[in-house]
Chain A
Amino acid sequence: MKKRNLDSAPWIWRTISTVSILTTLLLLFGFGYAIKDVIFPEGDAQLGTGQQTTAPAKDSGQSTPVVKDGKIRMAVIGDSLARGTGDDEGLGFVRRAGNLLKDQGYDVQVLNNMGVNGLRTDALLSKLDEQGVRYVLQQSNFILLSIGANDLFQGGQVLQGEDAPTAETLAAALPETSKRLQEILKKVKEINPDAQIAYIGLYNPFGDVKELKEPGNAVVAAWNDAAMKVLNNEDKMTLVPTFDLFENHLGQYLSSDHFHPNGEGYEQIAVRIAQEYQAETPAEGSGK
Chain B
Amino acid sequence: MSNIMPLIRNETIKMVKKKRLYIIFIVLAVLVPMFTYAQMKSAENNRDKFGGDWRLELQQAITDNQNSLGSDRVPEEYKKYRTVYIQQMQYYLENDINPKEPGGVTFTREFMNNAVGLFIPLLIMAIASDLVSGERTTGTIKMLLTRPVKRWKVLLSKLITLIMFVSIIVVSAYVICYVISGAVFGYKGFGMPIFTGFKVVGTDVDMSAVHAVDQWLYMLMQAGLIWFVSIIVAMLAFMVSVLVRSTAASIVIMMAALIAGTILTSMAASWQSAKYLFMVNLELPNYLSGGLPPIEGMNLGFSLIVLSVWGIASLFVSFIVFTKRDILN
A residues with CB within 8 A of B: 5, 9, 12-13, 16-17, 19-21, 23-24, 26-35, 37-39, 41-44, 47-48, 50-51, 54-55, 58, 61, 83, 109, 111-118, 130-133, 135-136, 139
B interface: dominant SS: helix
Cβ–Cβ < 8 Å partners of A139 in chain B: 53, 55-56
- B174 vs chain A, min Cβ distance (A): 10
Contact (Cβ within 8 A) B224 A47: no
Instruction: Tell me whether B223 is interfacial, beta carbon within 8 Å.
Output: yes
Q: Is the CB of A83 within 8 A of B94?
A: no
| Known contacts A23-B168, A33-B224: A47-B63 contact under CB 8 Å | no
- Per the bound structure, the CA–CA distance linking A283 and B303 in Å amounts to 60
* Cβ contacts A to B, 7 pairs, < 8 Å: A16-B16, A29-B220, A30-B227, A31-B224, A32-B224, A33-B217, A38-B196
Would you call B221 and A34 a contact (CB within 8 A)?
Answer: yes
The answer to whether A13 touches B95 (Cβ under 8 A) is no
In the complex, which of the residues A20, A131, A133 contacts B167, with contact meaning CB atoms closer than 8 Å? A20
Who on chain B is nearest to A15 by CB? B16
Residue numbers in B under 8 Å from A44 (CB-CB): 210-212
The 0/1 profile, CB within 8 Å of A marked 1, for residues 128-171 of chain B is 00000000000000000000000000000000000111011011
Chain B neighbourhood of A43, CB < 8 A: 197, 208-211
Task: Select A42's contact among B16, B66, B195, B211, beta carbons within 8 Å.
Answer: B211
B18 CB to closest chain A CB (Å) equals 12
Whether A37 lies near B213 (C-beta < 8 A) is yes
Is the CB–CB distance between B59 and A132 below 8 Å? yes
Nearest CB of chain A from residue B300's CB, rounded to whole Å: 5
| CB–CB A111/B94 < 8 A | no
Chain A residues contacting B164 (CB-CB under 8 Å) are: 16-17, 20-21, 24
Chain A: which residue is nearest B13 at the CB level? A9
A38 pairs with B71, CB closer than 8 A: no
A20-B167, A31-B228, A132-B58 known; A12+B16 contact, CB < 8 A: yes
Main secondary structure of the interface of A (DSSP, over half): helix
CA distance A118 to B67 in the complex (A): 9
A63 to chain B, nearest CB (A): 14
Q: Mark B47-63, 1 if CB is under 8 A from A, else 0.
A: 00011010110111011
Q: Is B287 an interface residue (CB 8 A)?
A: yes
CB 8 Å contact bits of B289-303 with A (1 = contact, 0 = none)? 000000000001100
Q: Report which of A12, A31, A48 forms a contact with B13, defined as CB distance below 8 A.
A: A12
Task: Determine if B255 is an interface residue (Cβ-Cβ < 8 Å).
Answer: no
Q: How far is the CB of A158 from chain B (nearest CB, A)?
A: 18
Query: Residue on B with the closest CB to A40?
Result: B209
Interface contact A16-B12, CB-CB below 8 Å: yes
Residues of A within 8 A of B176 (CB): none
The answer, among B13, B58, B96, B165, for a CB contact under 8 Å with A13, is B13
Q: Which of the residues A21, A33, A111 comes within 8 Å of B221, measured between beta carbons?
A: A33
Asked if A132 and B208 make an inter-chain contact with CB atoms under 8 angstroms apart, the answer reads no
Contact call B167/A27, Cβ cutoff below 8 A? yes
Would you call A41 and B209 a contact (CB within 8 A)? yes
Taking A24-B163, A116-B66, A116-B67 as known contacts, 4 extra A-B pairs with beta carbons closer than 8 A to each other, sorted by chain A number, are A24-B164, A43-B197, A48-B208, A61-B96
B188: interface (CB < 8 Å): no
